[in-house]
Amino acid sequence: ESRQMTVAEVRARKGAAPLVCLTAYTTPMAEAVDAACDVVLVGDSVGMVLHGLPSTLGVTMEMMLMHGRAVARGLSHALMVVDMPFGSYEESPEQAFRNAARLMAETGCGAVKLEGGAAMAGTIRFLTARGIPVMAHVGLTPQGVMGFGGYKVQGRGADGARVLADAEAVAEAGAFAVVLEKVPAALADRITDAVPIPTIGIGASAGCDGQILVVDDMLGVFTGFRPKFVKRYAELGDAARAAVETYAEEVRSRRFPGPEHVFADETGGGA
Ligand code: KIV
Ligand code: NA
């Protein structure tokens, strides 16, 4: 079946078959992940993964709009979700609506994602009441890196109650799913039991209702740093470097281009 996944279908996967989610930022990568995925996220991780930024804080609406449009052209099955960048939603529900509506109208995505728990519940309620499905993101929220003082595990020990309360608040506010990032596995399982919406884990637990990874991380393309929760399913960065070395060697030794890559002088002999 090639019909596009809906927010309602994702929501209905609570406690059922795990949701398969990955990020994508370009048309060809969207085409590569579409059939296998239920959800494709145009993450603000694009800033670090494709643009070389030191964190996600410098990601702009313009970047999310451009990568969102590119990904939309490559999807026919997965639900497309676009991240709201830092500074585009925190000020007020009205600001969040204005920017979320722009992301939906100009990219064709089916939902937006924003970071934050209880503090963002009012905004999530405002958006969902006005036709904008929201995926929430609690635990380690990378846009909060300066406040956290690093990409640290969230919710250990007594602090688990805070992350649980955040997940409950976003579910109660109408989010259709919630990403749990870098929290203890037992806490992720507890939250998954406690909330009525799918939990999507990254550095969380196999017991979550779904999993997500940054596609360039799991393919070994982005190797800037490697969190413990990234499993490498391929080493495409190494493959690219090896291919480029071979190319360079063949150019220098005039073995490339070969006879099959060049054109004869006579006409009518093919392209
Ligand atoms: O930006 C991103 O890629 C994300 C996922 C890792 C959840 O937010
Ligand atoms: Na993100």
**Domain CATH number, residue 197:** 3.20.20.60
Q: How far is the CA of 3 from the centre of ligand 2 (A)?
A: 26
Long-range contacts (CB closer than 8 Å, 24 or more residues apart) made by 163-166:
163/117, 163/138, 163/139, 163/187, 163/191, 164/190, 164/191, 164/194, 165/117, 165/118, 166/116, 166/117, 166/118, 166/138, 166/139
Q: How far is the CA of 239 from the centre of ligand 1 (A)?
A: 25
What pLDDT is stored for residue 271 in this prediction?
61
Q: Which residues are marked as active site? A: 181
Residue 48 lies in a domain: yes
Residue 185 lies in a domain: yes
Taking only the tens of pLDDT, the chain with its 271 residues reads 458 999 999 999 999 999 999 999 999 999 999 999 999 999 999 999 999 999 999 999 999 999 999 999 999 999 999 999 999 999 999 999 999 999 999 999 999 999 999 999 999 999 999 999 999 999 999 999 999 999 999 999 999 999 999 999 999 999 999 999 999 999 999 999 999 999 999 999 999 999 999 999 999 998 887 899 999 999 999 999 999 999 999 999 999 999 999 999 987 656 6
What pLDDT is stored for residue 1 in this prediction?
47
What pLDDT is stored for residue 251 in this prediction?
98
Residue 258 lies in a domain: no
Q: How far is the CA of 256 from the centre of ligand 1 (A)?
A: 40
Residue 105 lies in a domain: yes
Domain count, the chain: 1
What pLDDT is stored for residue 223 in this prediction?
83
Domain around 51: 7-234
Which amino acid would we find at residue 12? A
d(C-alpha 31, C-alpha 74), whole Å: 5
d(C-alpha 208, C-alpha 195), whole Å: 11
Which of 137, 142, 216, 214 is CA-nearest to residue 177? Answer: 137
* Lining residues, ligand 1, CB within 6 Å: 23, 41, 43-45, 83, 137, 179, 202, 212, 214
What pLDDT is stored for residue 226 in this prediction?
83
Asked whether residue 159 is marked as a ligand-binding residue, the answer is no
Which of 186, 191, 229 is CA-nearest to residue 211? Answer: 229
Residue 271 lies in a domain: no
Residue 267 lies in a domain: no
ipTM value greater than 0.90: yes
* pTM confidence score: 0.96
Residue 244 lies in a domain: no
Residue 13 lies in a domain: yes
